[in-house]
Structure 1
Amino acid sequence: MDGGRRIAVSPRPCSGRRILASKKRGRADAFVNSVKKLQRREICSKPHRAFSISDTQERFRNIRLQEEYDTHDPKGHCLMVLPCLRKRSKIIEIVAAQDIIFALAQSGVCATFSRETNQRICFLNDTADEVKRSLFYNKNNDSLVTVSVYASDNFSSLKCRSTAEAQGSSIYIRRGQPDAGFALFESESLKWPGFVEFDDVNGRVLTYSEQYSIYKVFDLKNYTMLYTISDKNVQEIKISPGIMLLIFTKFGGHVPLKILSIEDGTVLKSFNHLLLRNKKVDFIEQFNEKLLVKQENENLQIIDIRNSELTEVGKNEFMTPSTFIFLYENQLFLTFRNRTVAVWNFRRELVTSFEDHLLWHPDCNTNNIYITSDQDLIISYCKADSDDPLPEGNGSINISNILTGKCLAKIRARNSFPVEMNGSSSRIRRTVAEALEDNTALFYDEERNEIYTGNMYGLVHVWSN
């Protein structure tokens, strides 16, 4: 998996998540795997936050259901004239920053809530035909970037908007002025299959215009265009810390590859990788100096691009996962397959198998996964224990240690505290069991030690101690 975040209007089979223009009228379904969201908010090193096992267990021991927010406006929001915006819709993404929770529904409605007042602040949909596709909180300049499509354009082109950096996005949002900002990348043609990718690891933005077959790299701090990549033979670009991997059209029995500096686009290395003819390529991934290549029903190849040293993992040991998460600080990577999570190193060793972390969603929807900034914990919406007396639609929130696979804490109806009504401002209408039903999005605020979950009905729940 590369280090950016590509978000799709129309899903495409890639390891990450791009904002990709739609080719179908009115499509407003969920994104492809949101692994990129995990990287942009989690890949950093903060040793002072490292948890011991006992610290972690204590931190989550008394966590309980505290608040409930609703993204649906039963009275009818004045701007929401599109039929898809007037219906209840599942939450597909949650982001929190500066005591504000941003919740995006599959319909394209995006609502903001204040943790200080426990009230809904406003909707971010600022025009009658706007459908939000994704949110990105830019830590480089304290701004919120929204990506939208519009009915007037047959939902086919991406439009990006940022709040003004000078005063911070939260000020305008608290005032109910989410449109007090400016448009981004207006000169770019982001029609399908064009995309925009936000890479918080390197502080870059990558756009692709299919109309002109050109990639552009921008500075994430001020959105200045840095350089372009123009080559019709480029099939894919993968981003890692400091570098980009360009994957070209397969030629004969090999695939041409180039490694570029993320800073200025300088070519650092060009080489060909031999492939087996008539075998589909499952994936090609770049992780620092390691290249991972897997073809259908073949061994995983790990190539050190510095010296061409090859390491293989047997096809029966390593089966093609649905997606990856690279842990840059720990030199490990997570694989997701058939609801299970595993941790590997680059010496072809399986480091961890989780003892109690069976994911709820079979499609590995990583909107339901959060990895902490120290890369030591994984928090996921999981299948409940077989002995839990819960309806079929209920799951649990599991907190596990990535290096040991041990389940350190679990939020489930059986061992949860009763719901507390925190004064007259509380809007909780569901039981704990109901709040754990059909969760579709999850976010952990490390500063506040709060977990936010969203469900099929457009509700957001706050879990805190």
Structure 2
Amino acid sequence: MEGRRIIGANPRPCNGRRIVAKKRSRPDGFINSVKKLQRREISSRMDRGFSISTAQERFRNMRLVEQYDTHDPKGHCLVALPFLMKRTKVIEIVAARDIIFALAHSGVCASFSRETNKRICFLNVTPDEVIRSLFYNKNNDSLITVSVYASDNFSSLRCRSTRINYILKGQADAGFPLFESESLKWPGFVEFDDVNGKVLTYSAQDSVYKVFDLKNYAMLYSISDTNVQEIKISPGIMLLIYKRATSHVPLKILSIEDGTVLKSFNHLLHKNKKVDFIEQFNEKLLVKQDNENLQILDVRTAELIEVSRTEFMTPSAFIFLYENQLFLTFRNRNVSVWNFRGELVTSFEDHLLWHPDCNTNNIYITSDQDLIISYCKADTEDQWIEGNAGSINISNILTGKCLAKIKASNGHLKEEDCSSGLGNSERSKSAVAEALEDITALFYDEDRNEVYTGNRHGLLHVWSN
């Protein structure tokens, strides 16, 4: 849900990514934050039929073409932390400039070249560095890594920016630290907001929020108020949620550019009822309390719409499509599309998610926001063929139609594609079925028209046509 801190196994899609400094009892329990789901304008073009047919063609002949391994049997240089040498699942994938970055659960991050099909380097610069999350900053063509270190008992987040050009040369240590003045100890956090081009940090030590420019990392302004319980970011604005009173919650809407207060108001609540979520999206405020109706308030006109609690049940996650005034909800492996009048717009015909906890690392929304690509349960008719393998489903967000599907029965290798030891065509079907088992991360490279998946064995697979 938008703006809520990402900790443990309770992720949510958001404009950017919020990573929390988390107290840890063991050094091997790092949990990934939510993968950045890029959001830009979703167009209402007249050539929608052509767009759908084009999308079908793009994904029609997708097959497995490469396999990379994030695990280094030689242990790299990470001898200080034995758990970094263990083979673990891939939890996050980012692609930029023909490079694929794969972050393993252990905290090791490897980069691979799609041009040479070889590993370039590891992003871990010191022997005690455990990388928690990745963010590609398109404003200056750099990769930001968010890490914790054994030297301070893994208690503080530290950010580093490294230009892609340096990574291409294998110079992962050529980056520079960010936000060094900030104390990002638990429950502090850092959130990257790609839509507004901002970074939000929270220093729990002095209860100060700060906003930085994502282009040059200059500090723009700070918010110091111990009564602020949460900040949610939307295009152009921030919503400040204050400590709840008995029958209402104080709210403020600020300009994201300079922190100017645009509106202050109280929203009435049902007494003694837990607040499931409060979300702000453009001029719409969404409020849901336990076992109560969903309220959609237009903060400009004060118009209030209520949606029955039997029709709209609290989802486990949202994805918001701002320009089209729609949002996706995720609940019990199902995805639905709603508008801000509280009406169900679309239910997906064939898009049953594999993971019940809505692991958004296995979901990608295209930049046009017309397609959703997810790791899903296989069709009943295919289960006897594919065994434990799922499928990668590509569906149209506006119609709910499944446009294409990568599955074991149609994603097999051709012999000429077996350049990375995946085997010959006789065993390609088995290799594809194995690659479609236990997918733990998914990313779609729109420039190359390739889907990248990672699995629990730390293997990274490339699907292309």
Q: Same fold, TM exceeding 0.5?
A: yes
Amino acid at match of 1:94: I
SS at match of 1:387: helix
SS at match of 1:179: helix
Relative to structure 1, the CA distance from residue 372 to residue 184 in structure 2 (aligned partners, 3 Å threshold; closer, same or farther) is same
Amino acid at match of 2:40: I
Q: Which stretch shows the higher mean deviation, 383-392 or 118-127?
A: 383-392
Structure 1 unaligned spans of 5+: 164-168
Relative to structure 1, the CA distance from residue 11 to residue 20 in structure 2 (aligned partners, 3 Å threshold; closer, same or farther) is farther
Tell me which residue corresponds to 2:314. 320
Is 1:43 aligned with 2:44? Answer: no
Relative to structure 1, the CA distance from residue 47 to residue 426 in structure 2 (aligned partners, 3 Å threshold; closer, same or farther) is farther
Shift of 1:56: 1.2
Separation in 2, partners of 1:47, 1:322: 28
* Partners of 1:419 and 1:432 within 8 A in 2: no
Separation in 1, partners of 2:263, 2:392: 44
Tell me which residue corresponds to 1:21. 21
Match of 2:357 among 352, 359, 363: 363
* Partners of 2:42 and 2:321 within 8 A in 1: no
Shift of 1:45: 5.5
SS at match of 2:57: helix
Tell me which residue corresponds to 2:181. 187
Deviation digits for residues 148-189 of structure 1 (CA, Å, limit 9, x no counterpart): 0011111110000012xxxxx222112111110110000100
Is 1:259 aligned with 2:253? Answer: yes
Tell me which residue corresponds to 1:166. none
SS at match of 2:124: coil
Is 1:414 aligned with 2:413? Answer: no
Separation in 2, partners of 1:297, 1:446: 41
Aligned length: 453
* Partners of 2:4 and 2:232 within 8 A in 1: no
Tell me which residue corresponds to 2:346. 352
Deviation digits for residues 100-134 of structure 1 (CA, Å, limit 9, x no counterpart): 00000111010000000000111101111110000
Separation in 1, partners of 2:355, 2:311: 23
* Partners of 1:47 and 1:374 within 8 A in 2: no
Amino acid at match of 2:353: L
TM-score by length of 2: 0.93
Deviation digits for residues 333-364 of structure 1 (CA, Å, limit 9, x no counterpart): 00000000000001111000000000000000
Shift of 1:419: 4.2
Is 1:218 aligned with 2:176? Answer: no
* Partners of 2:65 and 2:413 within 8 A in 1: no
Is 1:247 aligned with 2:213? Answer: no
* Partners of 1:376 and 1:402 within 8 A in 2: yes
Separation in 1, partners of 2:402, 2:158: 42
SS at match of 1:85: helix
Two-structure CA RMSD over aligned residues (Å): 1.9
Q: Using the aligned pairs only, state the percent identity.
A: 75
Shift of 1:416: 2.6
Separation in 1, partners of 2:142, 2:93: 16
Tell me which residue corresponds to 1:141. 140
Separation in 2, partners of 1:253, 1:13: 29
TM-score by length of 1: 0.93
Tell me which residue corresponds to 2:399. 404
Is 1:393 aligned with 2:392? Answer: no
> What does 1:270-349 align with in structure 2 at a 5 Å threshold?
270-349=264-343
Separation in 2, partners of 1:7, 1:118: 33
Separation in 1, partners of 2:228, 2:194: 23
Relative to structure 1, the CA distance from residue 370 to residue 53 in structure 2 (aligned partners, 3 Å threshold; closer, same or farther) is same
